[in-house]
């Protein structure tokens, strides 16, 4: 089970999440976000085992090259093929957020799927102009086929905590889970015990399934 911890804003939290076994570290470069990171270089300066992800929303094509050096770019808006091609040109993988309750997002992601490495399922409340507290299970089930979305593995996000992450994994069977506020003691600062418990519980779910097959 892949674990992505997002909304990292400090050097200390980079080291914490990496040392505890996170697979992806997310840095938000969306103005207006409470976890906005101003300088891409500050996120890249520390070497980590975990992959580094720059989270963008509807960026201009000219801005993409600023994020060269990140392992993945997470596109959190309604970006088109031109933007995804530009991301590929800097050698980064693509995580594309999909909002199952929004037909426009679903249709766009289906078209963009050849460019995408992972989809990330989120609620439409995260997309400007739409309002929904969380995606519905029905809307997600409509786009799932063989445990994938349009042939791609996916992360599940939104409302995950150390205590409920296993329930989400068992219910939706994603390739990965994504958490931000669920492992914080205040906005933008990660709680070491919550990070530890979240990663342990997410990985334990995978281990338990392996044991059951023996």
Residues labelled as active-site residues: 6, 122
CA–CA dist 19, 201 (Å, integer)? 16
Count Cα atoms within 13 angstroms, Cβ side, for 198: 31
How far, in Å, are 121, 164, 166, 202, 213 from residue 73 at the CA level? Answer: 15, 27, 26, 23, 35
Pairing mode, if any, of strands 184-186 and 189-190?
antiparallel
Give helix 81-89 / helix 103-112 axis angle, nearest 10°. Answer: 40
CA–CA dist 98, 148 (Å, integer)? 13
CB under 8 Å to 168, separation ≥6 — which residues?
Answer: 156, 160, 174, 177
Residue with tokens 């939104």: 158
Count Cα atoms within 13 angstroms, Cβ side, for 143: 27
Residue ranges in 8-80 assigned as alpha helix (H): 11-19, 40-44
Per the DSSP assignment, residues forming a β-bridge with 190 are 184
H/E run at residue 175:
none
């Amino acid at each position: 089970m892949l674990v992505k911890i997002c909304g990292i804003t400090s050097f200390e939290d980079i080291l914490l999440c990496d040392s505890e076994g996170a697979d992806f570290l997310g840095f938000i470069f969306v103005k207006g976000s409470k976890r906005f990171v101003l300088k891409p270089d500050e996120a890249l300066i520390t070497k980590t085992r975990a992959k580094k992800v720059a989270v963008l929303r509807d960026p201009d094509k000219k801005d993409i090259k600023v994020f060269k050096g990140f392992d993945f770019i997470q596109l959190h808006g309604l970006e088109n093929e031109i933007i995804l091609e530009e991301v590929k040109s800097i050698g980064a993988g693509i995580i594309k957020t999909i909002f199952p309750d929004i037909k426009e997002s679903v249709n766009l992601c289906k078209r963009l799927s050849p460019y995408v490495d992972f989809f990330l399922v989120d609620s439409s409340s995260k997309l400007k102009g739409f309002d929904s507290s969380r995606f519905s299970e029905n809307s997600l089930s409509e786009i799932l086929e063989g445990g994938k979305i349009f042939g791609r593995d996916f992360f599940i996000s939104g409302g995950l905590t150390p205590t409920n992450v296993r329930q989400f994994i068992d219910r939706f069977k994603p390739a990965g889970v994504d958490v931000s506020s669920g492992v914080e003691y205040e906005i933008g600062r990660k709680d070491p015990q919550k990070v530890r418990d979240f990663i342990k519980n997410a990985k334990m779910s995978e281990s338990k399934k392996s044991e059951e097959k023996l």
